[in-house]
Chain A
Amino acid sequence: MNFRQRLSPTGNTGDAIFRATVFAAALLVLAVVLAMIVALASHSMLSIRQFGFGFLTSREWDPVKGQFGALAFIYGTIASSLIAVLISVPLSLGIAIFLVEQAPSYLARPITFLVELLAAIPSVVYGLWGIFVLAPFLRVHVEPHLARWFGWLPFFQGPITGIGLLTGGVILAIMITPIISAVVRDVLAAVPNTQREAALALGATKCETTLIVLVNGAPGIAGAVILGLGRAIGETMAVTMVIGNRAEISLSLFQPSYTLASVIANEFTEATANIYLSSLIELGLILFFVTFVVNAIARLLVWRVTRSTAGAI
């Protein structure tokens, strides 16, 4: 079979051109992802050669001395994302259960729209609101109380400024809630009604029935949470504006911190030395691979639930 026939089994020239065009677009997507990996890797070569694996374990980030290590940013990214997930997961589960299992549809539809609107607000707008509204609010009304009641924990010690890990985590939590709750909603809606009917027929209360539905959708819910985590890891502007941007590792949530994404946003245009730029691009490479893996895992989990149950009905 020659190339022309493969392109167009019908033997029509228009079909061949059409098929080649749309195939080229699909190839382009493939090429972009490959080019991304190649470009990020080749531009971080300088830094990879000089620092090796020590880049991941060194906490020193000193552009003046030319010493670069990513540990402080990795810590800041993980810590702020974990805070975000811890706050957002119970909230999102509550929203999803309310919208799928409890609310009447005339209420569920507009509320779904409103919750999804939270995802439409740009990151930089969250940042602006974070600087001028959320950070002062946390400084005055939340952080002093946390320090008073839980000050014996290492997480709530030190000076209170309103700018730091906690504020970054809270703003991320608001930003990922619409994403997690939307996916959990889809997962719960995909759990077959026979499960609910069986539970109710066996005498389970509404509360117990919801629990059974949650257990049925557990892998998908885990996927939703990981998807939210992936978003939190990559969020840039809002976090940059409220996290304080200091490359330090501190257990205290009141202290300023720095994330992978925010150091790139902040220092990229200042990086004059080649090794400085290369180190920043290596941070981008790390970010690329972490979010790639996290997203792939999340999608596999969500896909398993929504697909297997769809086949079972």
Chain B
Amino acid sequence: MTTLTALCTFVAVGILVVILSYIAMRGIGALNLRLLVDTPRPDGEGGGIGNALVGSGLLLLLSCAVGIPVGLACGIYLSEFGGGWFASAVRFLIDTLTGIPSIVTGVFVYAVIVLRMKHFSAFSGGIALALIMIPIVARTTEEMIKLVPHSLREGALALGAPQWRVTLGVVLPAAASGIATGAMLAIARVSGETAPLLFTAFGSRFFPRNLNEPIASLTVQIYNYAISPYDEWHTQAWAATLVLMALILSINIAVRFLTRNRFS
């Protein structure tokens, strides 16, 4: 039986290795400086993913600016005041929000923001990504704050500090590294999201000038290039994927090293 279960594990790890090595092989050959700074051009004229890199960076900044404070506050509410039925309801909603397909989040933001503004925009894309971030940040914040020993809280309260100073000045710093890793994982997660951006941020062939217009992103560009009929665009899709995976993998590995000793 051990052979069988070991085989299952081997298959899963094998698939991971195959996927990553394909990305590395196909991506490294296509990667060069011009690709990283140029904008898309018609087939046969080269072009690059520079605008998509800038666009993805801006979208991530926007989503962090909205998603991390709200998620953090929500997590603090759940851990510090989370005894009653309302908190249980919020906890349940957060869990189900995590399970709602990201394409539905995209449709929602389209209906609420894009239809009203009458055009696609970086703002709407950032909001869509933030909605995906909030539940992740909220739950990890709650879990991490719960790990802070009660004696620390009691000590601060006994010294006469009001509760808000205890939470912000004592509890949060003690849980900071855990909360930061949670936020990093949320960033890794949304940096790979494509579906919610298709009809919010939409995409663009140019460098972004302001946040109120459609904006390019790495993931949407990978999608558009992958389903295009041109070999040159396919190659660029692999290169863009390599850049994206380098970002996501380095976040995941960094988180792994940061949390290595916490639970042992």
A residues whose Cβ falls under 8 Å from a Cβ of B: 10, 12, 14-15, 17-19, 21-26, 28-30, 32-33, 35-36, 39-40, 43, 90-95, 97-99, 102-103, 111, 113-115, 117-118, 120-129, 131-133, 174, 177-178, 181, 206-207, 210, 227, 230-231, 233-237, 241, 261, 264-265, 268-269, 280-281, 284, 287-288, 291-292, 294-296, 298-299
A111 near B23 with CB under 8 A, answer no
Interface residues on B, range: 35 or more
A17 near B164 with CB under 8 A, answer yes
Tell me the bound Cα distance from A114 to B9 in angstroms: 10
Interface positions, chain B 58-111, Cβ under 8 Å from A, are 69-74, 76-78, 80-81, 86-87, 89-90, 92-104, 107-108, 110-111
B8 near A29 with CB under 8 A, answer no
Query: Which secondary structure dominates where chain A touches chain B?
Result: helix
- For the complex formed, measure the closest distance between the CB of B161 and the CB atoms of chain A, giving whole angstroms: 10
B11 near A22 with CB under 8 A, answer no
A18 near B163 with CB under 8 A, answer yes
Q: List 5 additional contacts besides A36-B108, A94-B4, A234-B102; criterion CB under 8 Å.
A: A40-B111, A118-B15, A121-B245, A132-B234, A234-B104
| Selected contact of A22 from candidates B80, B86, B112, CB within 8 Å | B80
Query: Which secondary structure dominates where chain B touches chain A?
Result: helix
B5 near A98 with CB under 8 A, answer yes
Stretch at the interface among B30-38, B40-48, B146-154, B193-201: B193-201
Tell me the bound Cα distance from A195 to B102 in angstroms: 40
User: Chain A residue with minimal CB distance to B95?
Assistant: A299
A39: B residues at CB distance < 8 A:
108, 111-112
B208: A residues at CB distance < 8 A:
none
B76 near A120 with CB under 8 A, answer no
B74 near A22 with CB under 8 A, answer yes
A181 near B162 with CB under 8 A, answer no
Tell me the bound Cα distance from A247 to B162 in angstroms: 61
- For the complex formed, measure the closest distance between the CB of B250 and the CB atoms of chain A, giving whole angstroms: 11
Tell me the bound Cα distance from A288 to B72 in angstroms: 25
- For the complex formed, measure the closest distance between the CB of B143 and the CB atoms of chain A, giving whole angstroms: 13
User: Chain B residue with minimal CB distance to A238?
Assistant: B194
A14 near B162 with CB under 8 A, answer yes
